[in-house]
Amino acid sequence: MINIIRLQSQETKMKICDVIMSQIAELQDSIKGKGQLLYLSKRIKHKDVSLFIHTNDPGVLGDFIAERLNKIENITDIWVINMIKPVFFPIPKDTKDMKRFTITLKVFPKKLKDVYQNIKNAVLPEGLIMAYIAYTFHLFGDSIQFSILADSEEELNRYLAEMVNKLPGVVKTTVNEIERTRPLVSYDEWRQYSSNHAIVPSWDEELMINQFRG
């Protein structure tokens, strides 16, 4: 399963990102053969950073957090979000000038599948590109998260207002802009890892890794 580990610190986001990156080899070695760090991202207007990780065993994730991440200096809070049934979408190469956003939806439980399918299968307007979608269930009601690349925040807000917010079952939409993302694994490393662990991704793993560069 892919998990998002959100880390909050007494330090600035840039400081904690630098600390994590300085220890990334040791962190990856601690789960060698049992998991893979994927990428690190920062949300604008939030004090936390997000570390994306894949493990086959939740026990490995628990040990990684309780025995390794908790030892990083000045970490004050840790929050784990599960990405359930993730789907990653093809991303064109020339997207470096586009803004990245994550959108979290509060959805009535009976409408979860309908909302998920509607967003997953949607044809987005020009200027918007879907990156991924997953169930998360990380708060009561907040149950679906997806990511979109957009030419502008105005175009994204228009799409959300005219399409997503009008889907039956959608109660609330929360938008966060992604400030920066750092990939922690190459395509070749991910391919070797997924082969060793008999993982059959439901996405194109090269696109999955490469789309978060920049």
Write down the pLDDT at residue 200. Answer: 52
List Cα–Cα distances, 194 to 39, 40, 190, 204, in angstroms.
Answer: 16, 19, 6, 12
Cα 83 from Cα 39, distance rounded (Å): 14
pLDDT at 214: 47
pTM of full prediction above 0.95:
no
For domain 85-179, is the CATH number 3.30.360.10?
A: no
Q: Where are the domains of the chain?
A: 2-84+180-210, 85-179
Question: pLDDT tens track of the chain, all 214 residues?
Answer: 889 999 988 766 667 888 888 999 999 999 988 888 988 988 988 888 999 998 888 999 999 999 999 888 888 899 999 999 888 887 777 777 899 999 999 999 999 999 999 999 999 999 999 988 999 998 887 999 999 999 999 999 999 999 999 999 999 999 999 988 888 887 677 667 666 665 555 555 666 566 555 4
pLDDT for position 189: 74
Q: In angstroms, how far is the first alpha carbon of the chain from the final one?
A: 24
**CA 180-181-187 angle, 5° bins:** 155
**Rounded Cα distance, 60 and 74, in Å:** 23
Of the candidate CATH numbers 1.10.3720.10, 3.40.50.1100, 3.40.190.10, 3.30.70.1510, the domain formed by 2-84+180-210 belongs to 3.30.70.1510
Euclidean distance between CA atoms 38 and 52, whole angstroms: 5
Contacts of 19 (CB under 8 A, 6+ apart): 11, 72, 73, 74
Q: Is 7 exposed, middle or buried (0-12, 13-18, 19+ CB in 10 A)?
A: buried
